[in-house]
Each structure stands twice: as structure tokens, then as C-alpha cells.
Structure 1
Amino acid sequence: MVFRVKACTMFSAAHRIEGHPRCGRVHGHNYRVCIVLREDRPMGIDLDELEKWLRENVYSKFDHRYLNSVLAEGGGELPVVTSEDLAVLVARGLEERFPGRVELVEVCETEDLCASYQP
């Protein structure tokens, strides 16, 4: 049997995509991040622990921040930050905490525009 556990959080943040005619200017979104983990037994993942991970590693890190700076390693600013970039970053962090269980990470900039990553 395979079970899937899904948890979501929301945060507001700004970013820009250098060279894009419209998104090249700093602008913001109310992001929604959903994660799906696989489990082979009921209650195999503590939902409180999953919620805490999201709060500490997504919401607290990104809410009301400028993502181009937050995601730049060693300071400075990245020229491009996309929803795809965020999905990969979140998935890598999840893999460290829940190895082999990450099935999908979805990042939505709006209700209708989302990017997903499946490790």
C-alpha cells in the first residue's frame, strides 16, 4: 500500500526575472507551496512535524522577503528566480529531512499558475 500525505503553506514575497519584459521589474506574489510525501503505512509521517518543517523552512524563510537576495548563495542577488527554482529548493530540503519520501513539490504564484517538481 502506498499513502500520500499533502501539506501546504502560503507566503508573500517579491522577485524579478531579469530580461523579461513584464517580470523584469520587482513584483510580488502570494505564493502557495504544497508538498506531497509518500508513505507505506498510515501515520508514517507525523503531520505536526511536517507542518513545523514547512513553517520553519518555507514560510519563515521566504515570507515578506525579496527572493532574488534570499536565494543567492554568499550574498548578492540572483538575476532570475522562478517558481521552478523554488520547487527544486524546497524538494532538496525535504529530501534531507524525509529521504526517499518526496513525491512532488508544487509552487503556485497565483491560483491558476503553478510549477511542480518531482525528484
Structure 2
Amino acid sequence: MILIKEFEFDAAHNLINYHGKCENLHGHTYKLVVKLKGTRDKEDMIIDFIELKNIVKENVVNELDHHYINNIIKQPTAENIAVWIWNKLFDKLKRDNCKLCEIEVWETKTSGIVYQGD
């Protein structure tokens, strides 16, 4: 089974190693999708949605929401943001019955990245 939880946060960034309009300061309402692959535990859940929400909010959303991402990630492309989020969550979401299997980072409704680890 794959469990899915979506999050949203607003943040600003600019791409310093890019030539085009995204090299200028701008913001997005990002959508983050976190997916865990696993089996049901003794409570018949992969993980409690509330526990997952708290982990993601504490370790990712609260750090990025309404912040300038360049202060956290040098070149904050969707790709680099996805890797940063993966690294923040992987160990915290590892359980005997499940683990992080995929995240999606959407900058707009039509542009995003899927990351499944290295």
C-alpha cells in the first residue's frame, strides 16, 4: 500500500544559476505530496495521518512556509527542494512497517518534480 498526504506552503526564491525570469525574486504556493509505502500495523494503519502531518509540518513546512528559500537551499530549484525535503523526512518516517517512497514538489498547478531517493 502507498499512503499519501498533501501539504501546501508559500515561499519566495530566485534561481541564481539560471538566466531567465526566474532569476528574479518571486514566490510560489508550493504543493508537497508525501508518499509512504508500507503494510498495516497493529492498528491497521501504515501511519497515523496526524503523526505524519506533525512530522512534515515540524521538519519541512514550518521551515519553508513564508520564507526566502535561498537562505536554506543555495539553488532552490524544484529538484533541489525535493532532495532537501527527502533528506529531512527519510529517517523520521522510517518504521518497521513503512518508509518514505516518493515526494512530489509542485511549484505551480502544471509544473512539479517527483523524487524517489537516489
- TM-score, normalised with respect to structure 2: 0.86
User: Is residue 67 of structure 1 aligned with residue 43 of structure 2?
Assistant: no
Secondary structure of the structure 1 residue equivalent to 2:23: coil
- Alpha-carbon offset, residue 21 of structure 1: 1.4
Unaligned runs of 5+ in 1: 72-77
Q: Which of the numbers 9, 12, 24 marks the counterpart of 2:10?
A: 12
Unaligned runs of 5+ in 2: none
CA separation in 2, counterparts of 1:106 and 1:44? 19
- Alpha-carbon offset, residue 44 of structure 1: 2.6
CA separation in 2, counterparts of 1:58 and 1:94? 8
- Paired residue type of 2:26: H
- Paired residue type of 1:53: I
- Alpha-carbon offset, residue 58 of structure 1: 1.9
Kindly report structure 1 stretches of 4+ aligned residues shifted beyond 6 Å. none
Q: Which of the numbers 87, 96, 107 marks the counterpart of 1:92?
A: 87
The C-alpha deviation readout for 1:40-72, integer Å capped at 9, x for no partner, is 12403111110111211222110110000123x
- TM-score, normalised with respect to structure 1: 0.86
Does structure 1 conserve the Cα–Cα contact (< 8 Å) formed by 2:59 and 2:89?
no
